[in-house]
Amino acid sequence: MSFSQLGLIAPLLKAVTDQGYSDPTDIQRKAIPEVLNQRDLLASAQTGTGKTAGFTLPMLQNLTASKAVVRSNQVRALVLTPTRELAAQVQENVLNYSKHLPMRSAVVFGGVKINPQMMTLRRGVDVLVATPGRLLDLYQQNAVKFDQLEILVLDEADRMLDMGFIHDIKKILRLLPQKRQNLMFSATFSDEVRALAKTIVNDPVEVSVATENTTAKTVSQLIIPVDKSNKPALLCQLIKDHNWHQVLVFSRTKHGANRLATRLEKAGISAAAIHGNKSQGARTRALADFKSGDVQVLVATDIAARGLDIHELPHVINFDLPNVPADYVHRIGRTGRAKASGEAVSFVDVEEIELLAEIQNLIGEVLAFKTVEGFEPSQAFQPPALNLKPKKIKKPKKPKAQKAPAQAEQAASKPKPRRRPRRRNKKPDSL
């Protein structure tokens, strides 16, 4: 099936061709016709399956068909995303696919000045991509109104809930007109996500193209056991030995991301860190430099990396395993996107065995192990079996400090204090 068979109009087909796509992905084949029929949609799609185009293309066509003229400060379609990076990525898709249409779009998120966003919204926009917090700020300042809203898209609903946006989402829903088309996308549909869906979608069509918590078949996965202290040196060696030019590295903490980026720079490898403590300008520059190839390694935390879409990203490294097993699936989903192949390598130290077991149990797969010469762990370990909680490997106890000979001799020569005999209370004589 081609895009032309999905019922898309000529300007959208031309935009798709301009992007170099010819055949739709599974989620696009299933979602686009339903959205064009103006049905509410509840879609479960694994990351990297092309879901953004799955709602952007039919959304733009429906807006074109309605022929409404957007008024000042009004919005015709609202796309809510959990992170700034994902918002920017969705807006990039909207711009690419709407370039042959008379559409105005904008993206708003926190971390940057609000006044330019208010000026943009003054003219009104057909499509607004937003993070919840900044959208509410703009509404409170009368910069955005929803009287003309026709379509609501909630992207990555599971992550919205994970990040604590449920109250902001409920506030926004109360501001929107009741009559609208609702599109809800999520990597997984937990009980919490389904409960939220009941308050948003009406008689939805459900589409799913991936089993929950499965990894893409296009991604090869490898575990390298290594001591924690040797992880930075191992990363430097792998990058140099294999001549990797574009590597996304995941760190568990912000400070760890900064330290690792500095270490890579000292080793002559261009690197940048991206996390929540960085300004939005710095995050945007780092991502742009990484995409262009000016930066070889991007070190990111889970939240900052959510929604990153780097075309044909070849390598993802889990420098630290995530605390939440599902984040492993999201992390390695940054590579192997849109049917391209990718490689995901995880560095695992002895203290992360339990985390590895949880990840393997989640994805239902025992991952391949491979040691690297010169970086063998001080304590050898094997991949844990599925559905078995591994025993914690105890660290070797430190030998007790021995007393100096003089002290030992002096202690031995000291007479032990005599213990006084215990007095027993005698029973009184019987009368």
Q: What's the CATH code of the domain at 223? A: 3.40.50.300
Mean pLDDT, all residues of the chain: 85
- In this prediction, residue 61 carries a pLDDT of 97
| pLDDT in the model for residue 276 | 78
Number of domains in the chain: 2
Q: Which range among 131-135, 163-167, 255-259, 316-320 shows the weakest confidence by mean pLDDT?
A: 163-167
pLDDT of 388 above 90: no
* Encoded tokens for 362: 């989640």
* Cβ atoms 151, 181 nearer than 8 A: yes
DSSP code, position 69: P
The percent of residues above 70 in pLDDT, for the chain, comes to: 84
* Residue whose entry in the numeric block shows the structure tokens 């995303």: 81
Q: Where are the beta strands (DSSP E) in 166-296?
A: 181-186, 205-208, 219-225, 247-250, 271-274
Do 204 and 226 fall into the same domain? no
Question: What tokens appear for 113 in the block?
Answer: 């000045």
46 belongs to a structural domain: yes
Q: What percent of the chain has pLDDT over 90?
A: 57
- pTM for this one? 0.66
Kindly indicate the confidence band of residue 414, based on its pLDDT and cuts at 50, 70 and 90.
low
For residue 100, pLDDT over 90 is answered with yes
Domain boundary among 208, 235, 261: 208
* β-pair partners for 129: 79, 107
CA distances from 254 to 81, 133, 270, 334 (A): 22, 22, 18, 19
Please indicate whether residue 272 or residue 414 has the higher confidence score (pLDDT).
272
Asked if 305 and 317 count as a contact pair (C-beta separation under 8 A), the reply is no
Would you say residue 249 lies in a domain? Answer: yes
Residues 290, 175 within the same domain: no
CA atoms within 13 A on the CB side of 281: 2
Q: Are residues 85 and 122 in the same domain?
A: yes
pLDDT band for position 313 (cuts 50, 70, 90): confident
Instruction: Among 208, 241, 272, identify where a domain stops.
Output: 208
Same domain membership, residue 361 and residue 237: yes
**For the ranges 17-21, 136-140, 252-256, which has the lowest average pLDDT?**
17-21
Answer whether 34's CB lies under 8 Å from 206's CB. Answer: no
Do both 256 and 180 map to the same domain?
no
φ/ψ region of 278 (left if φ > 0, alpha if ψ in -120 to 50, else beta) reads: beta
Does some domain include residue 318? Answer: yes
192 and 242 housed in the same domain: no
User: Which of these ranges, 11-20, 71-80, 284-293, has the smallest mean pLDDT?
Assistant: 284-293
Tens-digit pLDDT profile for residues 30-39? 999 999 999 9
CA distance readout (Å), 395 to 119, 152, 351? 60, 53, 9
Is 345 among the domain residues? yes
Is 429 a residue whose pLDDT tops 50? no
pLDDT of residue 408: 47
Average pLDDT over residues 144-160: 94
188 and 92 in a single domain? The answer is yes
- 423 within domain boundaries: no
394 or 320, greater pLDDT: 320
Query: What is d(CA 67, CA 75) in angstroms, rounded to the nearest whole number?
Result: 14
Q: In what order do the strands lie in the sheet with 205-208?
A: 105-108, 125-130, 75-80, 151-154, 181-186, 41-44, 205-208
**Mean pLDDT over residues 89-113, rounded?**
94
Contact in structure between 289 and 71 (CB atoms under 8 Å): no
pLDDT at 141 over 60: yes
Does one domain contain both 230 and 181? no
Residue ranges making up the domain that contains 235: 219-369
What are the tens digits of pLDDT across the range 177-219?
999 999 999 877 778 888 889 989 999 999 987 555 555 667 8
Task: Give residue for tokens 């040797």.
Answer: 230
Classify residue 346: in a domain, yes or no: yes
Alpha carbon distance 66, 337 (integer Å): 33
- Split at pLDDT 50, 70, 90, the class of 369 is very high
Which pLDDT score is estimated for 325?
85
Asked if residue 401 is part of any domain, the answer here is no
Based on the fold, state whether residues 266 and 173 are members of the same structural domain. no
- pLDDT score at 209: 77
The gap between the terminal CA atoms of the chain, to the nearest Å, is 112
Question: Which residues, in sequence order, are bridge partners of residue 207?
Answer: 43
Q: For the residues 21-29, what does the mean pLDDT come to?
A: 88
Same domain, 179 and 59: yes
Query: Do 29 and 153 belong to one domain?
Result: yes
- How would residue 77 be classed by pLDDT, with cut points 50, 70 and 90? very high
Residue 48 vs residue 210, higher pLDDT = 48
- Give the per-residue pLDDT at 430: 33
Whether 116 maps to a domain, the answer reads yes
Q: Which of 27, 67, 30 lies closest to 47 in space, CA to CA? A: 27
Give CA–CA dist 262/415, Å, rounded. 60
Last residue of a domain, one of 324, 346, 369: 369
Name the pLDDT band for 281 (thresholds 50, 70, 90).
Answer: confident
pLDDT of residue 21: 84
Confidence of residue 147 (pLDDT cuts 50, 70, 90): very high
Do residue 132 and residue 60 come from a single domain? yes
